[in-house]
């Protein structure tokens, strides 16, 4: 069993426990020693961040090989179109290669906390929201994807990682959860020490010698 911390990371908080520039960090919100983030969330992004002291659980959550789905609520500049959503679903060519197909759908503005400072709006340009679910974790990937289809991201909230969600968490608060971590596959376990056996099938006993 392992302990998992579910934190609603506020806007403009570093995803680490120290910062030489004096910016807000996780230490301002999490007072549990020995835990560390399982994955990253940008300084200017908000929402669900998972922390643990268990290395195996951290790998299960953060490793790209696990392809754990992460859902984001994204406020974009302009009225998102079905054509843009379809591009996101098929995959987008970014500078670091093609993204995996995503799940994308337009949503009504979610009932979320006000951001401080608030999103800057332009009177002549509307905004809209979409839910984007990806199984990758490239640097600023969601922002790059929406920009590539012509809808720059204004606000980004991570709502879900795997089966864990933000539900019930105000910004800057967390809850603890106990998680069962499955044993790794046999191929990843340390090799057992083989004992030499005699013809009878019983382990050979090594003779001890006593030095005077």
CA gap 6, 53 in Å, rounded? 13
User: Which of 42, 54, 96, 167 does the annotation list as catalytic?
Assistant: 42
Active site residue 31: no
- List residues with catalytic annotation: 42
């Amino acid at each position: 069993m392992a302990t998992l911390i579910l934190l609603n990371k506020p806007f403009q908080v570093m995803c680490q426990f120290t910062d030489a520039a004096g910016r807000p960090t996780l230490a301002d919100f999490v007072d549990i020693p020995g835990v560390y983030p399982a994955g990253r969330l940008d300084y200017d992004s908000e929402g669900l961040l998972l922390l643990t002291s268990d290395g195996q659980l951290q790998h299960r959550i953060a490793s790209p090989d696990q392809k754990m789905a992460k859902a984001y609520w994204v406020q974009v500049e302009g009225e998102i179109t079905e054509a843009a959503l379809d591009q996101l679903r098929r995959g987008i060519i970014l500078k670091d290669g093609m993204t995996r197909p995503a799940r994308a759908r337009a949503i009504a503005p979610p009932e979320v906390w006000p951001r401080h400072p608030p999103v800057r709006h332009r009177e002549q340009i509307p905004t809209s929201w979409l839910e984007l679910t990806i199984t990758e974790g490239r640097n600023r990937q969601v922002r790059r994807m929406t920009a590539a289809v012509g809808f720059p991201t204004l606000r980004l909230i991570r709502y879900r990682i795997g089966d864990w969600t933000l539900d019930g968490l105000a910004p800057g608060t967390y809850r603890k959860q106990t998680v069962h971590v499955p044993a790794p596959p046999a191929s990843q376990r340390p090799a057992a020490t083989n004992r030499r056996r005699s013809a009878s099938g019983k382990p050979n006993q090594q003779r001890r010698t006593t030095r005077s």
